[in-house]
Structures are given as structure tokens and as C-alpha cells.
Amino acid sequence: MSNIQHFDLCVIGAGSAGLSLVAGAAQLGYKTVLIEKDKMGGDCLNTGCVPSKALLKAGKVAQNFRTSDKYGIQSQEPIVDFAAVKKHVSSVIKVIEPHDSQERFEELGATVIREAATFLDANTVQAGEHKISAKNFVIATGARAFVPPIPGIEIDKVFTNENIFDLQEKPDHLIVIGGGPIGVEMAEAHKGLGCNVSIIDMATILSNDDPELVEVLRQDLISKDIDLYEKSAVKSIEHTKNGVTVYIEKDGTTTEIKGSHLLVAAGRKPNCDKLDLEKANVDFDRRGIKTDARLRSSQKHIFAAGDVASGPQFTHIAGYHAGIIIRNIVFKMPAKVDYSALPWVTYTDTELANVGLTHAEALEKHGESKIKTISWPFEENDRAQCEKHTAGLIKITVCNNGKILGAAIVGPHAGELIGIWSLAITKGMKLKDLTGIIAPYPTFGEISKRVAGSWFTPSLFSDRTRFIVGLLKKLPF
């Protein structure tokens, strides 16, 4: 066994979690090895966050041509060069690539091995010709698109987020199976670029979000002529010479939808099935590697981070996990995950952002008598009126004493606006803390101050307050 290489830390997977971990550990003096069988940067850079947001921007720019008449500028159908749009997407990836490159991490002092990793036992992994032992391991192998076994489906003829960005010709009619964030974002992006689009979901679109806010986004999608088939079960698929036919059933009625291309966005599957975790006695299931609050697996020296850990699947969670694990391994602190201020965003034109407890979760946890909700519409925001983007609202869930439990925003720039509420929940703030800020005018951000202030409006202008003011008027200045 003399050919074994020994390290302080072995990280498997060069996605958001793995790269953050390696950068931190290597710079803090840990002898670190990173193992990656595919592309550096993982899903986020290559097939997820970065390309999807670049494609969404292109779709939004194209859509602006169609709606510019509301600003006094003649609207027109844009001329879309779909292949050029894909070059735009690729160019964004290439700009960010150096930050995630093998060379950068080797310069930071890490060893990088570009092979598939498998466990030989709880203390050793094999990566190509390399045998590696380490004091600690972190599995950060991410997740991949899940394609359900629908009758008639042919895997090589469907698209997922992993290959949709490689498509160079514009789809005539894109059918999207799955109405979650990925499905809805890709549907709107392609609609903006001039494709006909249909979304099919067995439940409702964005079913994990507040229904009141989802309805605003639903109406926006419908206004763009995106066909929604909600509460519809996909019964079978037929691939044809000219495209694809999807057969769906709703309320006992079968409908066929004909399209040119099929995108499956029906969930994700953790990448833990090819690691030989059984040999390391690491427990996992279909949701991923089972971890405790410190992100330790059933083997306490083996951690899991990011999408492969059974928990929320967001890039910002992967980075958060990296910080928790660094504190545990490097600084010997028993740091634990806390998702109470977890934000998540759907980046459609009318964005949908959340942080903390949803209204339904707050009801279940605290009971109806102990919580209240307040809201404020974007149509009451002057900047929204200036830009004629007034659909949407902010909705805040609080305890009776004003402590903030959760926030949800649907409307323009919701993903940016949610940040202050994430800070408020992290710091245990109350609504009175938000009323004290001075918000620049006119900004979309004013909506946060306005909704917080609305909490105090009933008491501020109550008979009791008016009585007190009446007494104060009689006092000398």
C-alpha cells in the first residue's frame, strides 16, 4: 500500500460546494486534493445557474421589443438569431470559467485529479491510478436531471438542463414536463426567443411557493401565451419523425400535445450511486447522503455538501455548506446548518422570491392565532409605475409581536429585494427595525419599508393615539 497518497482533506466534486471547500482549506494550510471526473465548475457553471440566467436575459430582451409600445416606442417582433444567442450563453460561461479552473486551484496549493472517484473503504478512495487516504472526506458530487420512466420515452430524444443549452436550432414548439423553477424559467426564456411553449405539471406550477404569489406569475405566463397544463398526468410519449407527442390526462380526459422538442424538468437525482458508498459504510437513499446537522454522514469523518446531501438543492446552499464544513474540519467548531433564513428565487421576468417560513409553514408551526400577514402591492410603488411593471406584491409573515418569520415577493427584481428580509430573519429582527431605514426614492426597495410601516398604521392612527396627540397639543412647546 506504499503507493497511497495521504492528504488532510479529500474533496470529491468540483461544483460550487467542492470548489469553495478546496479554496478555503488549501489557503488555510490543509493538504487538499480535489477529484473531479467531468467539468470544473459543476452544474451551476456549465448546465445550471449561469447558462439559464444568460438565456433568460436574452429572452427578456427579445420580449421587450414586443412590449415597447407602452413606453411610446413602436413595438415589433424581434429577429432572433438562435445560434448567436447560444454563443452569448457560451461566452458568459467562458468569462467565469477561469475562476473555477483547475489551474487556479492548483495555484492555491491543491492537488487536482480529473478522474472518477470510488471508495475502497471508509478511509481510502480510488481515482484512476491514484489511491488516496485522508483524515476527512467531503462528497460534493451534486445531482443530475431525473427523467421519469414514462411509457414511450426515449432518453436520447429528450432534453434536460444538461443539454438544452447545446441546442443550436430554435424549437418551433417546446414542451416542458415539470412546472418547477427550472421548467418555468426555461419555458419563459424560450417563449421570449420566439418559440411556442407548453408546460405540463402533475400538480400546479411552483407548488412549493405561496399560491397567492404564484397566481401573479401564472397570469404573467398566460399573458405571454405560454400554455399551462396543470394537474395533468403524463400518460405516454410518442417520438415522431417531426417531433414529439405527449399524451396527458386530466379529470379522466386524455389530450395530446404535439411539439418539436421535449424538455424534461421533473426533478433531480443525487449523484451518489457510483461512488461505492457501501464499501465506506456511508448511508444514503434516493434523496442523497444522509447527514446530521453538521453535515457529517454515518461515517463522522466523511461529510456531504451541496445537492448530494439530502436537503435543499440550491447553489447558494452549496456555498453555505462549504462554510459549515470548513468550520467543523479546519477550525474544529461544531457548526450546524440553519435553514431558517434560506432564500430561493425563480428568475422569471416577474420574479418570485422567498426567505424563511412560507405562510403555510408558519401556520403549521405557530398556529393561526399567533401569526399575522401583511402585504403591499407593487402598483403602490412609484418606481414600478415609472417602469410600468406593477404586477406583484410583497407578503410578510410575522409573529404577533412583529418578529419576522418569512417573506415572499413576486414582482420586478424580487430576487434582489429579498436580501434585506434574509438579513432581518437571520438577525431576529422585528418589523420596527425595517421602518427605521431611509430608502432612496424612487426605488423598488421602498416596498420593504412601506410594508413594514403598514404593520403600525392601525395603532398609529387609532382613537387611542389621537387622544394622546390631543393631550400633547395642550402642552407648551
pLDDT at residue 477, as a whole number: 67
pLDDT at residue 463, as a whole number: 65
pLDDT at residue 373, as a whole number: 95
In the chain, which segments carry CATH 3.30.390.30? 343-460
SS3 string, 224-246, reads CCCEEECCCEEEEEEEECCEEEE
Strand segments, DSSP code E, in 75-171 are 111-113, 117-121, 124-127, 130-139, 143-145
Q: Model confidence over 149-182: pLDDT tens digits?
A: 999 999 999 999 999 999 999 999 999 999 999 9
Q: What is the DSSP letter of 71?
A: G
Question: Which is more confident, 464 or 412?
Answer: 412
pLDDT at residue 392, as a whole number: 98
Q: What is the DSSP letter of 298?
A: S
Q: Which of 81-85, 288-292, 455-459 has the lowest mean pLDDT?
A: 455-459
197 touches 227 (CB < 8 A): yes
- Whether the CA torsion 286, 289, 291, 297 is positive or negative: it is positive
In the chain, which segments carry CATH 3.50.50.60? 4-40+101-145+269-329, 155-266
Work out the end-to-end distance of the chain between its first and last CA atoms, rounded to an integer number of angstroms. 89
Cis, peptide link before residue 442, omega less than 30° from 0 = yes
Q: Which of 54-63, 144-153, 189-198, 306-315 has the lowest mean pLDDT?
A: 306-315
Is it the case that residue 2 has pLDDT exceeding 60? Answer: no
**Percentage of the residues of the chain whose pLDDT score is greater than 90:** 93
Average pLDDT, the chain: 95
Measured in residues, the chain has a length of 477
Q: How many helical (H) and strand (E) elements, i.e. helices and strands, does the chain have? A: 16, 23
C-alpha cell at 207: 407548488
Q: Model confidence over 263-277: pLDDT tens digits?
A: 999 999 999 999 999
Query: How many whole angstroms separate alpha carbon 339 and alpha carbon 309?
Result: 14
Residue 282 has phi, psi (to 5 degrees) of -100, 125
CATH of 343-460, one of 3.30.465.10, 3.90.1150.10, 3.30.390.30, 3.55.30.10: 3.30.390.30
Q: Residues near 389 by Cβ (< 8 Å), separated by ≥ 6?
A: 350, 378, 411, 412
Q: Model confidence over 303-331: pLDDT tens digits?
A: 999 999 988 889 999 999 999 999 999 99
Q: Domain 155-266 - what CATH class? A: alpha beta
Q: Per-residue confidence at 474, pLDDT binned at 50, 70, 90?
A: confident
177 touches 265 (CB < 8 A): yes
Q: Per-residue confidence at 459, pLDDT binned at 50, 70, 90?
A: low
C-alpha cell at 375: 402585504
| Mean pLDDT, residues 448-476 | 76
422 touches 365 (CB < 8 A): no
Cα dihedral 101/26/318/347 (nearest 10): -40
Is it the case that residue 57 has pLDDT exceeding 80? Answer: yes
pLDDT at residue 310, as a whole number: 85
Just give the CATH number of 4-40+101-145+269-329: 3.50.50.60
pLDDT at residue 462, as a whole number: 63
456 HSE (CA, 13 A, CB side)? 14
Q: Per-residue confidence at 250, pLDDT binned at 50, 70, 90?
A: very high
pLDDT at residue 62, as a whole number: 98
Residue 376 has phi, psi (to 5 degrees) of -150, 130
Is it the case that residue 217 has pLDDT exceeding 50? Answer: yes
137 touches 303 (CB < 8 A): yes
pLDDT at residue 473, as a whole number: 73
Q: Per-residue confidence at 464, pLDDT binned at 50, 70, 90?
A: confident
Q: Per-residue confidence at 466, pLDDT binned at 50, 70, 90?
A: low
Q: Model confidence over 103-134: pLDDT tens digits?
A: 999 999 999 999 999 999 999 999 999 999 99
pLDDT at residue 1, as a whole number: 42
346 touches 352 (CB < 8 A): yes
Q: Residues near 296 by Cβ (< 8 Å), separated by ≥ 6?
A: 302, 303, 328
Of the candidates 426, 29, 409, which has an alpha carbon nearest to the alpha carbon of residue 210? 409
255 touches 229 (CB < 8 A): yes
Q: Per-residue confidence at 460, pLDDT binned at 50, 70, 90?
A: low
pTM here?
0.93
pLDDT at residue 424, as a whole number: 96
DSSP H/E element including 393: strand 393-399
**Residue 359: what residue type?**
H
Query: How many whole angstroms separate alpha carbon 456 and alpha carbon 394?
Result: 16
Residue 223 has phi, psi (to 5 degrees) of -65, -25
